[in-house]
Amino acid sequence: MESYPDFGTTFTHYSRNATEVVSFEMHASVLYLPVVSSAVPFRAAPASVRCVHNDVAVPDFSAYRRHDVQDANASSQGSSDSRKGFSYLMTAATGVATAYVAKNVVTQFISSLSASADVLALSKIEIKLSDIPEGKNMAFKWRGKPLFVRHRTQAEISQEAEVDVSQLRDPQHDLDRVQKPEWVILVGVCTHLGCVPIANAGDYGGYYCPCHGSHYDASGRIRKGPAPLNLEVPVYQFVGDDTVVVG
Amino acid sequence: MLIQRDPHSPGPVPAIFQDPHSRDPISRTPISRDPHFEDFHFQDPHPPDPPVSIPIPDPPVPVPIPDPPLPIPPVPIPIPEIPLSRSPSSLFLQAALSNLTRKRGAASYAHTLQNIPETQVTTLENGLRVASEESHQPTCTVGVFIEAGSRYEDAKTNGAGFFVEHMAFKGTKKRPGSAFEKEVESLGAHLNGYTSREQTAFYIKAFSKDMPKVVELLSDLVQNCALEDSQIEKERGIILQELKETDSNLTDVTFDYLHATAYQGTALAHTVEGTTENIKKLTRADLASYVDIHFKAPRMVLAAAGGISHRELVDAAKQHFTGASFEYKAKGSVPDLPRCRFTGSEIRARDDALPLAHIALAVEGPGWADPDNVVLNVANAIIGRYDRTFGGGKNQSSRLAALAAEHKLCHSFEPFNTSYSDTGLFGFHFVSDPLSIDDMMFCAQGEWMRLCTSATESEVTRAKNYLRNAMVAQLDGTTRVCENIGSHLLHYGRRIPLEEWDARISAVDAKMVRDVCSKYIYDKCPAIAAVGPIEQLLDYNRIRSSMYWIRL
């Protein structure tokens, strides 16, 4: 007669659940029953060991139990709501935190596909105003286009202010096109077909586009010629006394 | 829904009352001590059903039921909240039953219920309760029902009750050896008994004229058990052999595992038979002390049904049971029944060599006396039961059964509602092929959720009728009635008459089913036991997540 080792059940693992669950698994060696000669009086050591389902004992999981269910002689119903509530609260809070982190990670990765810092840096230009003397028009390369920054004289300012707006093709008052009257900042692209006007040229003391003969005044407004609109005024901001940031 | 007829059984056992893991032989094969009586079933000779063409006259009505003299008040009594240990007012019962007098057929049902003789209960001086229902038949069943079982044992004494039951038939002090069984045989009587977790019973089926003798035999058995040493040693081997046999009954194994895990760390986790170590180690002293502690008169009920009169039964009881002890010697030795904690958990006994998987899932249910039991039984009737022998195919009235049949989800399934004095297990059990476990579990839990959220009036009405039928049908035969009386007195403190069951069942509606089911099932942690090729059974977290729906 073969002799089997003296254990019937193998506890392979027990796992803990988030709520009140405890569990364990056992292999089915308990169901392969070796034969025991039951007629032998049990004072003699049996040749093999029988294992029946009655002998399976659920292990004691007290070390894992929550406080409310430690007492084996108290109903677990009363604390059921509070235990579930705690678990769901923890789940919800973790869910919120995870969503926050996930959103941040995802946006970081996706925003890395957008324009890089050096490209973004090109979108703005900082201009030192003290470099531009009065009456002078300086041109800068900005976003691939010429940017005209003109330091106007008082005569030019008052001359532009006096112009009758209703006579203009694209009516705009000078003061609507500037933040500080002595500085006019324009995109140097002719609104007709895109050539670059020449500064301090033309019949109106402003700009003259040589391509088709559009005349702009010192405020960049179209006065004569084929262009339909005034020169574009970009977004700009004066930072401090001496600097303007365009873009 | 079919009630299967076993040609060898005395009658159909309404499936809803087959408690699959009770030791009660009324609903399962008894553990018969004497194989001579294995196939011998008492057929209580009822008058045979007359041929259909002759109309059966209504039974004579001692109290006519006219239109009620007073207008029936609307029923304000919250009958669903009255515990089963208290009777609702008779006005309500009358009102509930008189609703049935509108239809002719139903009138005889109401009459029949009212005409069932009342169970008479007498309490002797030592606390023993004697109860009987007289029914003018030549046979009777007399039994002693004791509040003792494996729940009263601890780890060291687990199995003592079962051992005592084995020893009980091996002779008493007055009738040693086989004299006891021979005397029973000579009456032409049938002796049987069972032990379960909270109840032990011994009963004898005999001729009504032999009732005094039977009472004497029972008193001898219960009070004077011999517990001979040689018999004890012999019995050890027999019990171990029996354990090996029950090990192959996987349904029982599954339910034992279910208890072991659901009530882990408490007395309800013990199996009734005990562990092999205990069976080998229990001594005569242990058994004697078990009998001494638990077989006390106030914890016993002498119940009888059949052609016996209550007065004669009480006389016989006074004669033979007066000596039954009713005191505890030491102050602290009165056995206490502490609450058993339910733990949502699982136990898996995987064995891929077995052909079929047995799985039982249960949530904690109410104790015996809780009126929610009626509603839960209605819910179980809605869930229904099924096995492959059912002839209807996919045309079953139970939704789950129809699914199971159509998609071959399982070989069989059944719901259960097992109650103990202060707790219970409400759940279902199924047997399936290894590759249908997931689908069956999905459908069964889906059915639970559907009941909690949207049980409909029509299915509740159908279930109520089925339950009414089952409650009445289960009481055919003196043995069933006797067992009913004994159990009721132990569980509820009184016999609940069929009238009252009917009234309680009538009070159930769909909203109540939804509410009560939600109270016990919805978002609760279940206990799961699984045996066999159970790889496909999902892990506990998944099953736990199917106990609720994501909804507002």
Q: Which residues are CB-contacts of B410 (< 8 A; sequence separation ≥ 6)?
A: B386, B404, B430, B431, B432, B433, B436, B440
Q: Which residue of A has its CA nearest to B276?
A: A55
- State pLDDT tens for residues B134-166: 998 999 999 999 999 999 999 999 999 999 999
Other CB atoms within 10 Å distance of the CB of residue A65 = 19
Least confident of A173-177, B43-47, B407-411, B445-449: B43-47
Catalytically annotated residue among B133, B165, B414, B500 = B165
B535 reaches A (C-beta below 8 A): no
Interface contact B540-A72, CB threshold 8 A: no
Q: Give just the sign of the alpha carbon dihedral A213, A217, A220, A222.
A: negative
Mean pLDDT of A88-117: 95
Residue A24 has its nearest CB partner, among B240, B347, B353, at B347
A71 reaches B (C-beta below 8 A): yes
Q: Which residue of B has its CA nearest to A66?
A: B343
Q: Which residues are CB-contacts of B375 (< 8 A; sequence separation ≥ 6)?
A: B80, B508, B512, B513, B516, B517
DSSP letter string, A41-74: -TTSPPSS----GGG------GGGS-GGG--TTS
pLDDT of residue B31: 31
Three-state DSSP class for B105? helix
Alpha helices in A162-244 (DSSP H): 174-177
pLDDT of residue B87: 80
Partners of residue A71 in chain B, C-beta under 8 Å: 341
Partners of residue A62 in chain B, C-beta under 8 Å: 265
Partners of residue B240 in chain A, C-beta under 8 Å: 36, 38, 50
Counting one residue from chain A and one from chain B, the pairs whose CB atoms sit within 8 A come to: 124
Q: How close is the nearest chain B Cα to the Cα of A121, in Å?
A: 49
Partners of residue A18 in chain B, C-beta under 8 Å: 541
Q: How close is the nearest chain B Cα to the Cα of A67, in Å?
A: 13
Q: Is the pLDDT of residue B7 over 90?
A: no
Q: What is the mean pLDDT of chain A?
A: 82
B138 vs B29, residue with greater confidence: B138
The packing angle between helices B437-454 and B510-520, to 10°, is 130
Distance of CA B240 to the CA centre of its chain: 26
Task: Tokens for B171, please give them.
Answer: 């002779």
Q: What is the mean pLDDT of chain B?
A: 86
Task: Tokens for A154, please give them.
Answer: 């008082």
Tokens 């998944």: give the residue. Answer: B542
Interface contact A54-B274, CB threshold 8 A: yes
Task: Tokens for A27, please give them.
Answer: 């292999």
- Which residues of A, range 177-236, sit inside 8 Å of B by Cβ? none
Interface contact B343-A76, CB threshold 8 A: yes
Residue A75 has its nearest CB partner, among B275, B339, B347, at B339
- State pLDDT tens for residues B329-358: 877 677 888 899 999 999 999 999 999 999
A16 reaches B (C-beta below 8 A): no
Task: Tokens for B286, please give them.
Answer: 């242990």
Partners of residue A35 in chain B, C-beta under 8 Å: none
pLDDT of residue A11: 37
pLDDT of residue B6: 41
pLDDT of residue A122: 78
Distances (CA, A) of B229 to B25, B175, B240: 28, 16, 17
B548 reaches A (C-beta below 8 A): no
Tokens 């509606």: give the residue. Answer: B509
Q: Which of B241, B247, B261, B363 to mutate to test the interface with A (most CBs of A within 10 A)?
A: B247
Catalytically annotated residue among A27, A151, A212, A215 = A212
Q: Is the pLDDT of residue B28 over 80?
A: no
Strands (E), B357-447: 357-365, 386-387, 412-419, 424-432
Percentage of chain B beyond pLDDT 70 is 82
DSSP letter string, A64-124: GS-GGG--TTS-SSTTHHHHHHHHHHHHHHHHHHHHHHHHHHHHHHHHTTS--HHHHHHT-
B345 reaches A (C-beta below 8 A): yes
Partners of residue A86 in chain B, C-beta under 8 Å: none
A54 reaches B (C-beta below 8 A): yes
pLDDT of residue B309: 95
Task: Tokens for B389, please give them.
Answer: 């022998």
Q: B136 in the Ramachandran plot: left (φ > 0), alpha (ψ -120 to 50) or beta? A: left
Least confident of A73-77, A118-122, B75-79, B542-546: B75-79
Q: Which of B281, B350, B363, B548 to mutate to test the interface with A (most CBs of A within 10 A)?
A: B350
Least confident of A1-10, A73-82, B113-122: A1-10
Mean pLDDT of B49-68: 52
Partners of residue A60 in chain B, C-beta under 8 Å: 265
Partners of residue B163 in chain A, C-beta under 8 Å: none
Residue A52 has its nearest CB partner, among B247, B343, B540, at B247
A74 reaches B (C-beta below 8 A): yes
pLDDT of residue B514: 97
Other CB atoms within 10 Å distance of the CB of residue B136 = 10
Interface contact B280-A53, CB threshold 8 A: no
Residue A52 has its nearest CB partner, among B236, B243, B341, at B243
Q: Which of A54, A55, A88 to mutate to test the interface with B (most CBs of B within 10 A)?
A: A54
Q: Is the pLDDT of residue A208 over 90?
A: yes
Percentage of chain A beyond pLDDT 70 is 80
- State pLDDT tens for residues B278-334: 999 999 999 999 999 999 999 999 999 999 999 999 999 999 999 888 888 877 677
| Helix or strand holding residue B140 (H, E) | strand B139-146
Residue A21 has its nearest CB partner, among B275, B345, B352, at B345
pLDDT of residue B249: 95
Q: Is the pLDDT of residue A29 over 60?
A: no
Least confident of A138-142, B44-48, B258-262, B548-552: B44-48
pLDDT of residue A14: 36
Interface contact B264-A61, CB threshold 8 A: yes
How does residue B80 score in pLDDT terms, banded at 50, 70 and 90?
low
Catalytic site residue A212?
yes
Other CB atoms within 10 Å distance of the CB of residue B460 = 23
Interface contact B525-A19, CB threshold 8 A: yes
| Helix or strand holding residue A140 (H, E) | strand A137-142
A53 vs B95, residue with greater confidence: A53
Q: Could you give the CA distance from residue A246 to residue A122 in angstroms, rounded to a whole number?
A: 11
pLDDT of residue A202: 87
